[in-house]
């Protein structure tokens, strides 16, 4: 149940997150990428999306922004998506999924699944693409990427997943990084716990309903598409991503795991054009090109 205190805290976090992202990218030259706004006519509702136009020789990237399922939006990740589209030459569809506490679990997971299904089924009517898709996201968006992809095991047009420091386990899982890097970067352990508690809205992590949020134990990872998985050292989610890389490898999935030993949570998307951001863009560009060449 949403309390007034929690609602005020949510609004404060959203304001701060938008402000910090705006300041991080302020003054950075914006790539010349054509954009347009769409309303996706999904079965249960209409959902907004921003489309960045790319090449017909590249897959379309379906992107889910981060922000703990409670903050973040199309604007906070607009500078990042502009540069991702420019570097990879991919059309990107950034999805404006519903947020908690107004819309608790499983709203975001339902939205991203429905949006992905609609986009895949309507590729020919969207901006240029080669008829294939990559699902991508950072942090909570990485969780949504994993959750969506495991529910599309036989989709031939899904060629890959890009997961940037994904949150894929409940914080009750024994992960040293939650203690070692509790306050090492902008995402603290206490904030991460609040994000998850707010989204789950009292639902216990052991509840079978949460299997779409925490796949791996009940939902098999076999058949998952090839993946690029990025982790940061100074991040409470460090061990979460590392465990996922191991689990995917054991399931026979082709995984490229890139660990950024000097970076903190948010470095590709929320800190501006730093060296870490540039390195991330370079490896993502190369990974997309390898997929496109197959």
- Residues annotated as catalytic (active site), given as ranges: 139, 235, 265
Task: Give every strand in the sheet of 35-41, ordered side by side.
Answer: 35-41, 46-52, 92-95, 60-64, 133-138, 158-164, 227-234, 255-264
Q: Element (H or E) spanning 42, and its range? A: none
CA 132 – CA 157 distance, rounded (Å)? 5
SS3 90: coil
CA 231 – CA 242 distance, rounded (Å)? 7
Cβ neighbours, 10 Å, residue 45 = 12
Judge whether 100 and 201 are in contact, CB under 8 Å: yes
* H-only helix segments in the chain: 4-25, 78-88, 107-121, 140-150, 177-180, 189-200, 238-250, 275-292
Cβ neighbours, 10 Å, residue 69 = 29
Judge whether 198 and 277 are in contact, CB under 8 Å: no
């Amino acid at each position: 149940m949403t309390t007034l205190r929690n609602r005020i805290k949510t609004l404060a976090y959203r304001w701060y997150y938008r402000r910090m992202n705006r300041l991080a990218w302020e003054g950075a030259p914006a790539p010349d990428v054509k954009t347009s706004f769409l309303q996706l006519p999904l079965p249960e509702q209409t959902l907004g999306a921003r489309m960045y136009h790319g090449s017909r020789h590249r897959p379309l990237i379906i992107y889910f922004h981060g922000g703990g399922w409670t903050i973040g939006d199309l604007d906070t990740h607009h500078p990042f998506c502009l540069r991702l589209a420019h570097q990879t030459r991919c059309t990107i569809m950034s999805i404006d999924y519903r947020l908690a506490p107004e819309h608790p679990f499983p709203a975001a997971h339902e939205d991203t699944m429905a949006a992905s299904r609609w986009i895949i089924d309507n590729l020919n009517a969207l901006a240029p693409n080669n008829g294939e898709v990559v699902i991508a996201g950072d942090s909570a968006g990485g969780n949504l990427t994993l959750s969506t992809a495991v529910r599309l095991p036989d989709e031939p047009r899904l060629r890959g997943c890009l997961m940037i420091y994904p949150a894929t386990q409940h914080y009750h899982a024994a992960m040293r990084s939650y203690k070692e890097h509790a306050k090492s970067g902008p995402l603290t352990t206490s904030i991460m716990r609040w994000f998850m508690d707010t989204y789950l809205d009292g639902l216990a992590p052991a509840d079978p309903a949460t299997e779409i949020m925490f796949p791996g134990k009940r939902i098999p990872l076999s058949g998952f598409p090839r993946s690029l998985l990025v982790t940061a050292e100074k991040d409470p989610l460090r061990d979460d991503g590392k465990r996922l890389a191991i689990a995917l490898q054991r399931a026979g999935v082709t995984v490229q795991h890139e660990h950024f030993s000097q970076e903190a949570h948010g470095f590709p998307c929320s800190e501006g054009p730093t060296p870490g951001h540039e390195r991330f863009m370079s490896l993502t560009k190369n990974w997309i090109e390898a997929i496109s060449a197959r």
